[in-house]
Amino acid sequence: MFRLDGKTIAVIGAGSGIGRAVAVGAAEQGAYVVCLDVNTENAAITAATITGAGGSADSGSCDITNITSVREAIVSAASKFDRLDGVVCTPAVNVRKPILTYTSEEFDRVSGVNLKGNFHVLQAAGQLMTVQGFGSIVLFSSIRSIVTEPGQSVYSMTKAGIVQLVRTAATEWGEKGVRVNAIGPGVIETALTAPIKAQPEWYKAYAEKTPMKRWAKAEEMAGPTVFLLSDAASYVTGTILFADGGWLANDGRFSPPGF
């Protein structure tokens, strides 16, 4: 039930990081994967990696800040087999700054990609899937939808907003056979978190906050995502699956004596 044989899955953000890992993971479970990214060269590299390993994949362009680009990419992804079983959207940006110094332009940039961009994907995928009568949509939220820290105001706002988009879509499209969920990663080693990794004290502090005492690799997000795309999650909708190494379960960084 965890396999994706015969399914067409579109992964937006497949050119790098978590998106690439999810695309490869979905292909390993038997899916035909359409690797989409604003960087078409990187998307093509991911597709070539999949086909080189014996999988089935194609690539294309998708700019989630442009609704026309998103709609065209979604329709194109469904065209080969006249179906689209799953859509995953991973791109995000962040500007770490105090609220008092955040500019309007920075707010628009972060919310435009993280929130409006995900809305574009959700809407375009929903328009197709509600007509065909089936499908699974997976958006990427974060632990920052629940907890935050200084400098994360707009990013956290957008990640919380994604959860509410997912919940609302699940209530609107459930009767039409469309499931909508979110993944909530913890700290993942990607290009987005490279500035943290470059500062050993900061990097170590995040690792220590996690009960597993380490960061996650991008590949570790593939399994939870594939689960939500698969028939194993046929009764799972409107929720967020946290893959955070126990971050949200850990109240503080101090272990009392004897533990």
- Please give the Cα distance from 154 to 142 (Å, whole number): 13
Greatest CA separation for the chain: 60
- Please give the Cα distance from 19 to 37 (Å, whole number): 9
The residues, ordered by sequence, that sit 6+ positions from 243 with a Cβ below 8 Å of its Cβ are: 183, 184, 185, 186, 216, 220, 221, 224
Residue 64, both tokens = 């989630």
Q: Let me know: does 207 contact 172? Beta carbons within 8 Å.
A: no
Q: Catalytic annotation on 206?
A: no
* Sheet strand arrangement including 32-37: 56-61, 32-37, 8-12, 86-89, 135-140, 178-185, 240-243
Residue 97, both tokens = 């700054």
Task: With CA atoms as reference, report the closest residue to 122 among 160, 156, 167.
Answer: 167
Type of residue numbered 13? G
Element (DSSP H or E) covering residue 181? strand 178-185
Q: Let me know: does 182 contact 236? Beta carbons within 8 Å.
A: no
Task: With CA atoms as reference, report the closest residue to 69 among 138, 120, 14, 16.
Answer: 120
Which one of the listed residues 102, 155, 203, 206 is annotated catalytic?
Answer: 155
In a 13 Å sphere around the CA of 61, the CA atoms on its Cβ side amount to: 9
The residues, ordered by sequence, that sit 6+ positions from 254 with a Cβ below 8 Å of its Cβ are: none
Residues labelled catalytic? 155
